[in-house]
Structure 1
Amino acid sequence: MIGSIRQAPRTWFWVVAIVLLLWGAMGCYACFQQFRLGAEAMGPASDYDRALYASLPAWYNWIYAVAVGAGFLGSVALLLRSGAARTLYLISLIAVLIQFGWLFATSDIVAAKGAGVVLPFPIFIACVAVFQIWFAGMASRRGWIG
């Protein structure tokens, strides 16, 4: 949209952008809690949870931080009507896929806890990340960001 005038976004754009910002803030808080509390971040951990967390490579928490940090900053960029939102959301999705892909490929968590317990939330997180990319692209095409 080089040289074009940005259009005023619809009210629902701001509502969605604020919801995405709150989602990103919750992700940052959860990541901070995991850094602070380890396996106990989501409540009392089982022996399995503690052993799994202890086996994670050092980079695992940092890729989590990249996933939630880029998502949060993408939402800030969206609210500032910056075209950087889409790139930040893409970085977030890549980090999410690395994070959960590595976890599911290298651990027995699905077998230990069951797919119905383990998979729904990571799938939801990935779907939100894809939605964020789509939403930023749609906003860019409509001239609302850029």
Structure 2
Amino acid sequence: MSNSTTIKPPFWFWIISVIALVWNGMGVNAYLQQAYNTESYRAMYSKEQLEIAANMPVWVTAAFAIAVFSGALASIGLLLRKSWSVKLWILSLIAVIIQMGYILINNYVSSMVMTLMIILFAFLFVWFARKSKAKGWLS
């Protein structure tokens, strides 16, 4: 359903959208540090944690990339007030569930709080994007 006119969103829409962009920007940074095995990445984790990350199945690493990059693009879509951002948020959520599900099932959790925050934010951003579309804030 496409509507040529959209309703002006409230101020807090912009705040949440910027928070989403910053959150997903941090995710992209984390992915790139892991992918390029940077010195700062290696300094953050123990040898055991680095070994676990290095031996993750390719599909889990791919889910990580899909989660953060689709989330970052979805954040930009929100800031541009585009309804296509909803689909990217859903893709990001699915990828988060796959990645975090694997990590939880295999007990590779280094921080349960961060793991739960990632899952919770993924759900909240989908909810927020759907709500924004329903309110007519996205076109």
Q: TM-score scaled to structure 1, two decimals?
A: 0.85
Segments of structure 2 that go 5 or more residues without pairing to the other structure are: none
Structure 1 residue 104 and structure 2 residue 104: aligned?
Answer: yes
CA contact (8 A) 1:17 1:78 kept: yes
Judged with a 3 Å threshold, the aligned counterparts in structure 2 of structure 1 residues 119 and 48 are, in CA distance, closer, same or farther, namely same
Q: 1:60 Cα deviation (Å)?
A: 2.3
Identity of aligned residues (%): 32
2:127 aligned to which of 131, 134, 139: 134
CA contact (8 A) 1:39 1:53 kept: no
Q: 75-84 or 41-50: which moved more?
A: 41-50
2:77 alignment partner in structure 1: 77
Q: CA RMSD in A?
A: 2.0
Q: 6-15 or 41-50: which moved more?
A: 41-50
CA distance in 1, matches of 2:111, 2:122: 18
Segments of structure 1 that go 5 or more residues without pairing to the other structure are: 111-116
Structure 1 residues 52-91: aligned runs within 5 Å: 52-91=52-91
CA contact (8 A) 2:100 2:119 kept: no
1:113 alignment partner in structure 2: none
Q: TM-score scaled to structure 2, two decimals?
A: 0.89
CA distance in 2, matches of 1:55, 1:81: 39
Q: Choose 1 or 2 for highest CA Rg.
A: 1
Q: 1:76 Cα deviation (Å)?
A: 0.5
CA distance in 2, matches of 1:35, 1:126: 21
**Structure having the larger proportion of residues in helix:** 1
Tell me the number of residue pairs that the alignment of Structure 1 and Structure 2 aligns: 139
